[in-house]
Structure 1
Amino acid sequence: MLRVAILGNAGGGKSTLARRLGEKHAIPHFEIDTFLWREGWVPAPLEIYTAKHERIIAGESWVIDGLGHRNSTQARIDRATEIILVDMPLWMHFWLAAERQIAWQSGKLEHAPGGLSAMPPTRDLFRTIWEIEQDWMPDIRRLCTEAFDAGKRLTLIHNVDELNTLAEDLT
């Protein structure tokens, strides 16, 4: 049984890492954005999100990447056997998100977030990254630290080199 929650701000490589982890361990990978959003970046109804999230975390083995709804994070952390927190400097999330926007616009993005066909407006994406850093990440960091203190395995990713090293170890 391996249940991995990969958390962190947008643009940090969570989904790419999660796909590799799922492939290496032959466990299902779930990208929260696929059931958090509908086409046009319209939020899915909360009851649909909640039901899907509860079904997934009840599973025996999984890797889930993303933040989702704020009130679902604790349950995911509680059920996880391992947590990976992608917690790079804010400017790096902006940089990587901008690179993804450029790749998406030029048709070179292999995996669109949430499997959506239209990219989010860059201004909205950057505003979200800022708000998550200011409003969410202090609580996410605290929850991860508490889980670690309670005996959960926690891997912290602070820069792209650490992210790439972890990803390379999975191949």
Structure 2
Amino acid sequence: MERIIVLGVSSGVGKSSFARRLAEQLAIPVYHLDTYFWKPGWVESSHEEFSENQKNLVDQQCWIIEGNYSTTYDIRRKRADTIIYLERPLAVCLYRVVKRRIMYHGKNRPDMASGCPEKLDRGFFTFIISTYRARKVKMRKRLAQFIEESPQNSVFFLRNQQDIDEFLKEKATTSISDF
């Protein structure tokens, strides 16, 4: 467990918070894809720039890369040895997105690019609701494919706070040589 992808069913599922905690425990650098995709003022990076940044990240020995970004998933997948997938109920994700908006009102989150203060609009909220079910199906297929391609890879499916806490307590504190 040296090259880890943290994925989630939706925004608000807790990918960034989980990845930060995992990075602290494993002493592995964490990279939040939002900081590479977004430029100040919520301007999107070009696909080429975003891809190139990720190619540089995955060339490192150890890393945790957090974020879904399906269009560049293969860049991360090819070098990863572990995927940790968070799937919490839609209501939890929506609650957490609203809570995050309130907590970071007018400020940047630590996992977001500079110059992108927290925001929440109807379009984003609708996106979360309208894509939730389809993403569950897509992500589960992605996890199965990851193992099929390389059976030595690991996938961890965390469905609730108890799963997350137990993983961080048990799996993340086990030395890498024990896997």
Greater share of residues in helix: 1
The 5-angstrom pairing of residues 115-126 of structure 1 reads 115-126=114-125
Unaligned 5+ runs, structure 2: 174-179
3-state SS of paired residue (2:75): helix
The equivalent residue for 2:89 is 89
Does the aligned pair in 1 maintain the 2:32–2:67 contact within 8 Å?
yes
Kindly indicate whether the alpha-carbon contact (under 8 Å) linking 2:37 and 2:44 is maintained by their aligned counterparts in 1. yes
Question: Alignment partner of 1:79: what SS?
Answer: coil
Distance 2:83 2:164 in 1: 14
Percent sequence identity over aligned pairs: 24
Match of 1:145 in 2: 144
TM-score (norm 2): 0.81
Q: Which residue of 2 aligns with 1:15?
A: 16
Distance 1:10 1:142 in 2: 19
How much is the aligned-residue C-alpha RMSD, in angstroms?
A: 2.4
Which position in structure 2 is the counterpart of 1:162? Answer: 163
Question: What TM-score, normalized by structure 1, do the two folds share?
Answer: 0.84
SS at match of 1:113: coil
The one-character-per-residue Cα deviations of 1:63-112 (angstroms, maximum 9, x if unpaired) are: 000012x22113312321111001112221111111111111286x8635
Conserved in 2, the CA contact under 8 Å of 1:74 and 1:143? Answer: no
Q: CA deviation at 1:168?
A: 4.8
1:62 aligns with 2:59: no
Q: Which has the larger radius of gyration?
A: 2
Following TM superposition, by how much is the alpha carbon of 1:116 offset from its aligned partner in structure 2, in angstroms?
A: 4.6
Cα 1:160/1:41, change in 2 over 3 Å: farther
Whether contact under 8 Å (1:82, 1:153) holds in the other structure is yes
Say if 1:115 and 1:81 are closer, same or farther in 2 by CA, change over 3 A.
Answer: farther
Distance in 1 between the 2:34 and 2:146 partners?
Answer: 24
Q: Any conservation in 2 of the 1:41–1:120 contact (CA below 8 Å)?
A: no
1:134 and 1:42 map into 2 onto residues whose CA distance is: 28
Give the distance between the partners of 1:112 and 1:81, measured in 2 at CA: 23
Structure 2 counterpart of 1:145, one-letter code: A
Rounded Cα–Cα distance in structure 2 between residues aligned with 1:138 and 1:87? 11
**In the alignment, structure 1 residue 50 sits paired with structure 2 residue 47:** no
